Amino acid sequence: MNKLILAVSLATIAGIVQAGPPAPKTQGIESKDYKWNAQGGEKSEALKLKGDRKRGEEAYEVCSDCHLPSGAGRPDGTFPQLAGQHTTVLIKQMADIRAGLRDNPTMYPFAVTLTDPQELADVAAFIEQLCIPVEHGRYEGKDLARQLATGKELYEKGCKECHGQNGEGAKEKFFPVIAGQHYKYLLRQMTEIRDGHRRNANPDMVKIIQKYNNDQLVAISAYQSSLVMPGNMCKAKAAAKKK
């Protein structure tokens, strides 16, 4: 509970999250020496450890204010949907934020409260086993059918090989689950990757995504947010009985 108290306290200071010194800056994709997913550091240590879900649930309390206890995040895309994400992806992203390789000033103060590689593994194990919410932020434009059709065509040409038919990603390759992810979050991240603002981006993805214009990214994001993973989604809530 101490971590939860710390998180709430930090979030209320002038509406800006601050915790001690700012996040470090490690050279990322802008550097010629950048190697995506390089071995070493606490990321590699955490990946070797078996995560304890019970301990992870306790450690996750520091995350639940933003990402919600269910891991559903926020439909407006401010905070991503985490539930069901691969442990490899979760560990890499948390470690990158802690090391200053991925810029996320909002999450950094919370990420650094995790004490060691074992706690990273524990939190990731807890999040991975959460079911993916059925309801999440989707594209809501009147041209939905057209966007989905265009997005599907683009996704199958450029994205499916890595992220899978149903958005299941690939755990062993650190490719994230995108099924059930919020449309606005997907659009923001792809735009940042294309424009060189996501410093820990996979160079292979950058090459693919650089050719897309804004309209195409909207279509791809709209389609991605419509994907579901059979067997991994939360059960639909039963309809309320009429009195």
In angstroms, the CA 106 to CA 112 distance is 11
User: Mean pLDDT over residues 49-76, rounded?
Assistant: 97
In this predicted model, what pLDDT tens digit does every residue of 107-124 receive, in sequence order?
Answer: 999 999 999 999 999 999
According to the model, what pLDDT value does residue 28 have? Answer: 93
Which class would CATH give 144-224?
mainly alpha
According to the model, what pLDDT value does residue 49 have? Answer: 98
Read off the pLDDT band of 25 (50, 70, 90): confident
Residue 13 has pLDDT above 80, yes or no: no
In this predicted model, what pLDDT tens digit does every residue of 137-165 receive, in sequence order?
Answer: 999 999 999 999 999 999 999 999 999 99
Residue 19 has pLDDT above 60, yes or no: no
Residues of the chain with CATH 1.10.760.10: 2-27+36-128, 144-224
Q: What average pLDDT does the structure give for the chain?
A: 90
| Topology annotation, domain 2-27+36-128 | Cytochrome Bc1 Complex; Chain D, domain 2 (1.10.760)
In this predicted model, what pLDDT tens digit does every residue of 176-210 receive, in sequence order?
Answer: 999 999 999 999 999 999 999 999 999 999 999 99
According to the model, what pLDDT value does residue 241 have? Answer: 53
According to the model, what pLDDT value does residue 27 have? Answer: 87
According to the model, what pLDDT value does residue 238 have? Answer: 61
Residue 10 has pLDDT above 80, yes or no: no
Give this prediction's pTM: 0.89
